[in-house]
Amino acid sequence: MLQQGQTFGIDDRYLLISQLGKGGFSEVWLADDTRTHVQVAIKIYAPGTGLDAAGIEIFTKEFSLVFDMNHTNLLKPTYFDSYENQPYLILPLCKNGSAFKFLADGRRITEQECWNMLHDVGAGLAYLHSKNPPIIHQDIKPDNILISDEGHYMITDFGISARVRSTIRRGRSTKGGEGGTLAYMAPERFSSRPKAIMASDVWSLGAMMYELMTGDPPFGDSGGSAQRGGEPIPDIEENYSEQLKGLVYQCLSKEPENRPLASKIEDLTYKYLHGIAWSSNDLPKPKPAPQPEPEPKPAPKPKAEPQQPSRPLYGSQAIGTQSVQGSQMNRGSQMHYSDQDRYSEQMPPEIPVPQKSNNIWMWVAVGVAAVLALCIFVAVLVFVVFGR
């Protein structure tokens, strides 16, 4: 455990004077460089416990990627090393402290200070996001925004990736998420497969500004998880311009694509600070809420064809109709027939059937006439043969 008056570093180079800040996996101390007799800020990671050799190697590789970055709004380390398996950075001493002083002093940040901070932090993030691949800070909050002697706001801890944070947590046997402070973490960081993106830093910037303007983070300690669950952005009731409130609300948009880029924040705040007019039309348009799809209309029921009147069936007509009826039964209630079925149902013309007569007298008359004719024939034959 680090203590006041303790020496730290090779050859006991740094004398710890007082603790300036403490986080989940690091401590910041005011220290005296015994070689130069210059006061510096020393940030020690995994204090007391340290990391294993693999952890130190990961930490060193990660910092080598960002150590040479140079921007007005980035607090650049002047030295990096590890001592007793504890990585540490030597940083320029910012006597004005961090943006957290606005909360610690119990006073609200002024409108002008809001615009200055939005511009400087936006510019620093735009620089980090412009790298290939982009560098995502993942932990924008008041403690990580320091104030230079000239009054500029500078981002610190920009080299601490999720991989490094995870390595430190394992070394310290602590639990945590992907990296970052819950109150300033964007909604997408709470998904089943969280991934930090550039827009996540913009949301964190909006949450930080909201807290500095109102005294509390927009969703308390729950951060973006509450917004992900459906909670709206609370109104900023303090006396700030609608233009400033609108920009902060835009940064806190639930959907990442509705948030302005860090470069856009830098541009808009520059215009404001230099008296160049801009309007809400310069901000990205909110994504429209998805509209429910209209319910499909039910298909119209087919009209039943008029049934033919019942007639007696003959021969193959009866067989064809039975086939049609069987087809109808297999198709359920559909009244649909094939062309062949339709031809089978066409009725041939009726064939007349001779009717029997019950008049017996007609047959008697015919028989009498036949007998008389036979008698006449016999008489004529006798006359011809015997009359000569």
Known catalytic residues are: 139
Write out the two tokens for 49. 């416990």
Which tokens belong to 114? Answer: 């809001």
User: Residue 81, SS3?
Assistant: strand
* Residues counted in the chain: 388
Give the three-state DSSP class for 123: helix
**What is the maximal distance between C-alpha atoms in the chain?**
188
- Amino acid identity, residue 88? Y
Spatial distance between the Cα atoms of 257 and 265, rounded to a whole number of angstroms: 14
Cβ contact 217:252 at 8 Å: no
Strand-pair category, 14-22 with 7-8: antiparallel
DSSP string, 248-303: HHHHT-SSGGGSPPHHHHHHHHHHHHTT----GGGSPPPPPPPPPPPPPPPPPPPP
Distance, CA of 227 to CA of 312 (rounded, Å): 77
Cα gap 186→256, rounded to integer Å: 9
C-beta of residue 345 within 8 angstroms of C-beta of residue 321: yes
Q: Cα-flanking dihedrals φ and ψ of residue 240, to 5°?
A: -125, 160
Q: Please list the alpha-helical segments (H only) found in the chain.
A: 53-66, 101-104, 111-129, 162-172, 198-214, 224-228, 242-251, 262-273, 315-330, 339-344, 360-386
